[in-house]
């Protein structure tokens, strides 16, 4: 599988996902500000991958700015933490790295930089393990010959391993199950069309690309057996923030009595928030809707509402697929 990002010496090699699927291009970054820019413009995206990138970004910040004391790091940590607001993995990774720094108390620039690189690589390696565990647990929910609907991108491009929701699909495929995946295109930036369809084809998994607005009709026609998505943040009561359009999928699944599963590692569960109303929802620039990929597709000057994420209430989730196992959702049927 492709690597979305990796450490190369004292740089971070990052796949520019905005160029996919027509071009596979890597940049070697040595400035934390380039990591922040990549997160903001979606060259790196997906909650786990953003967390990994944040950890690597802190190492680059300390390395480039000659950080010699623990108290020198918070301004850089805050800048990285604020790159995007919704995916909790970003702040989780920053907090984990800075906590480790204060616990270990390394002395001097070289010791601080070494610890930061080490912790970033540990987070990266851990995510590979988490993805594999989610895949093994979740594959049990996918029967042979299942027709699976997914939304947005949740594979290796969005994580440090085989993926969250995609990892479950990939594992089921590796087990020999004959499955067909319907990939929502995922407006407005087409992560499903540009990224998920590309990853499915790279993995040899049968797939069909559909418009977001086709999903409900496909369910009505009996063409979907289950839906599985990832998450950017999950509250203690089980509300899920994920790519805009996820809520619509969940509502349609509920209406048609189709299981709706959410796959996410422990780092995506935010114990500080109770319900979805507390999750900050990022709004993107209007151009992503009116000038998608550089071409004007709406009247000049039209007002736009462009949330990047929506909230799916816990009542619509059949189960959560985690690295620890399957957690029944409020829609669970025994």
Question: How many Å apart are CA 106 and CA 114, to the nearest integer?
Answer: 9
Please name the helix (run of DSSP H) or strand (run of DSSP E) that holds residue 229, with its range, or none: strand 226-229
| 3-state SS class at 240 | strand
CA angle (324 as vertex; 320, 329 as ends), nearest 5: 20
Query: Which residue is it, tokens 């939304």?
Result: 151
Residue 4 contacts residue 19 (beta carbons within 8 Å): no
- Beta bridge pairs of residue 13: 6, 28
Question: How many Å apart are CA 141 and CA 127, to the nearest integer?
Answer: 21
Phi first, then psi, for residue 122 (nearest 5°) are: -65, -45
232 is catalytic: yes
List 232, 239, 310, 323, catalytic entry: 232
- Which are the catalytic amino acids? 232
């Amino acid at each position: 599988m492709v690597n979305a990002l990796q450490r190369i010496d004292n740089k971070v090699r990052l796949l520019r996902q905005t160029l996919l699927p027509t071009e596979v291009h890597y940049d070697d970054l040595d400035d934390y500000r380039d990591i922040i820019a990549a997160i903001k413009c979606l060259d790196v995206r997906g909650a786990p991958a953003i967390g990994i990138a944040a950890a690597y970004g802190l190492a680059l910040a300390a390395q480039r700015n000659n950080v010699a004391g623990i108290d020198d790091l918070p301004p850089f940590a805050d800048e990285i933490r604020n790159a995007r607001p919704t995916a909790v993995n970003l702040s989780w990774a920053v907090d984990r790295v800075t906590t480790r720094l204060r616990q270990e108390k390394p002395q001097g620039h070289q010791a601080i930089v070494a610890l930061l690189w080490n912790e970033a690589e540990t987070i990266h390696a851990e995510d590979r393990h988490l993805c594999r565990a989610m895949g093994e647990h979740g594959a049990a929910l996918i029967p042979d010959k299942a027709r699976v609907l997914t939304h947005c991108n949740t594979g290796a491009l969005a994580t440090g391993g085989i993926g969250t929701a995609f990892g479950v699909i990939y594992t089921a495929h590796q087990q020999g199950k004959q499955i067909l995946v319907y990939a929502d295109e995922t407006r407005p930036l087409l992560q499903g069309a540009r990224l998920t369809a590309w990853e499915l084809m790279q993995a040899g998994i049968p797939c069909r690309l559909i418009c977001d607005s086709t999903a409900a009709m496909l369910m009505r026609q009996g063409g979907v057996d289950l839906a599985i998505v990832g998450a950017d943040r999950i509250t203690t009561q089980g509300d899920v923030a994920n790519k805009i359009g996820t809520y619509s999928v969940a509502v349609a699944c509920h209406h048609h009595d189709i299981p709706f599963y959410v796959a996410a590692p422990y780092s995506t569960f935010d114990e500080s928030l109770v319900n979805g109303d507390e999750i900050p929802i990022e709004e993107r620039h209007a151009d992503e809707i009116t000038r998608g990929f550089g071409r004007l597709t709406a009247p000049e000057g039209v007002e736009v509402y462009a949330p990047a994420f929506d909230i799916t209430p816990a009542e619509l989730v059949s189960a959560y697929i985690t690295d620890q196992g399957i957690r029944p959702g409020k829609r669970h049927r025994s």
